[in-house]
Amino acid sequence: MSGSTTVVAVIGGGPAGLMAAEVLAAGGAAVTVFDAMPSVGRKFLLAGRGGLNLTHSEPATAFLSRYGERATELGPMIAAFDPSALRNWAAALGVDTFIGSSGRVFPLEMKAAPLLRAWLTRLRAAGVGFAMRHRWQGWDGAPAGRRQTLRFATPEGERRVSADAVILALGGGSWAKLGSDGAWVAILRERGIAVSDLLPANCGFDVAAGGEGGRGWSAHFRERYSGEPVKSVAARVTDMHGHLHERSGECMISASGIEGGLIYALSAPLRDTLGVTGAAHIELDLAPGRSLERLTTELSRPRGSRSMASHLQGQAGIKGVKAGLLRECLPAADFADPARLAAGIKALPLRLSAARPLDEAISSAGGVRFEALDPQLMLRALPGVFCAGEMLDWEAPTGGYLLTACFASGRAAGAGALHWLGTACRDASPAG
């Protein structure tokens, strides 16, 4: 890229955008990161509030399977910047990591802020500029490859910026107050770009049982158990195609339903089934360490003068919120029949009526369809415009998979832009 300096605008200051900026700056481009918020990395910092889960240490095949039907498209990007490379990258910033008991990878300090500070220091030293409170409004006229003009709303009024290439890393549609509001969907659709609707992912669900009119928890259960964790349980979901999904872990009772890691891991089949049929069902195994036969035998023992609560705790280890769930979801007659009670403990039915709103979700599904992109993440209909991160049409469970794909796709988009700019420069050079 000889001649005048190549200028690249990166729109979005999350992990994908910052990684793209790093790659571009290393390749000699003049890079400015634009973000609508007063500072970059706001959702990244929130994700690290309870311990930044950077990636996961499981084998590559299992790791890639977490991306479902988009594993094929994301596979080459993650192979080029896999969990090991991500840990080495963090170490180069002075942030050492460790593998937790679940296989998840965390910084030693369990915080996002030290990594982000070190990263921004390195980016600024590489010449990356930052323009905050710049909300992208689209293009001035039709984007036409090199030297496209971008429009931004700023506190001082509209600003126009010319760039040789653009990286769009605007996030999904969850946590709008942190910048990911999905406003870019309409802008791209107006340009004819195929964008799948943004949907909640890694989200909670409302229940449709127990309350007045058969909706929601009963007032008693909600007041007593809202916010309580349900530990050491297993869950089963049969999706609309008849496929069985099973997970173990823990979840939490919310005011309107159920949420937490176990539910987030099953949110995709639950959400998709709800979208087609209007209802979804999940079965909770409240005693995954005991067989149905063992439970039936234990619950068949005479309880004498003991209360049912004491009998459940003494014979089946069921107490607290688990006992409350049984009372909430099973007919009273089942408590008089040990076989039916045991079956309820092993497969407690919950009918779900709706996913929680997109803005409450940890992440979002949907976005720019891969069919609209070339292998280097450039929009086929808009040469010189690249997309990365959560605004692409993929989803993954929590556990480090979300961040890994954001980093990897940002790196891929930055490299793709450099390659395209180099090709464009050569094509524009005089013959001879």
Q: Is the pTM of this model over 0.75?
A: yes
pLDDT in tens, 83-125: 999 999 999 999 999 999 899 999 999 999 999 999 999 999 9
Report the amino acid identity of residue 68: G
Q: Is the pLDDT of residue 424 over 70?
A: no
- Residue-level pLDDT at 103: 95
pLDDT in tens, 135-189: 999 999 877 667 899 999 999 999 999 999 999 999 999 988 888 899 999 999 9
- Residue-level pLDDT at 2: 40
In the predicted model, what is the mean pLDDT of residues 368-381? 97
Better pLDDT: 59 or 141: 59
Q: Is the pLDDT of residue 428 over 80?
A: no
pLDDT in tens, 67-85: 999 999 999 999 999 999 9
Is residue 20 within 8 A of residue 169, CB to CB? The reply is: yes
Strands ordered across the beta sheet of 97-99: 55-56, 104-107, 97-99
Q: Is the pLDDT of residue 211 over 80?
A: no
- Residue-level pLDDT at 432: 31
- Residue-level pLDDT at 48: 76
Q: Is the pLDDT of residue 430 over 60?
A: no
Under the banding of pLDDT at 50, 70 and 90, the label for residue 423 is: confident
Residue 128 token pair:
């990356």
Which residue reads 């909600």 in tokens? Answer: 222
Nearest of 316, 314, 308, 350 to residue 332 by alpha carbon: 308
What are the φ and ψ backbone dihedral angles of 329, each rounded to 5 degrees?
Answer: -110, -15
- Residue-level pLDDT at 49: 79
CA 5 to each of CA 25, 29, 31, 163: distance values in angstroms, whole numbers, following the listed order: 11, 7, 10, 11
- Residue-level pLDDT at 61: 96
- Residue-level pLDDT at 246: 94
Measured distance CA(156)–CA(87) in Å, rounded: 40
Residue 380 token pair:
């086929």
Report the amino acid identity of residue 69: E
Measured distance CA(109)–CA(260) in Å, rounded: 24
- Residue-level pLDDT at 216: 86
- What average pLDDT does the chain have? 92
CA 335 to each of CA 16, 175, 343: distance values in angstroms, whole numbers, following the listed order: 53, 43, 11
Residue 280, helix vs strand vs coil: strand
Domain architecture of the chain: domains with CATH: 7-200+364-428 (3.50.50.60), 205-355 (no CATH)
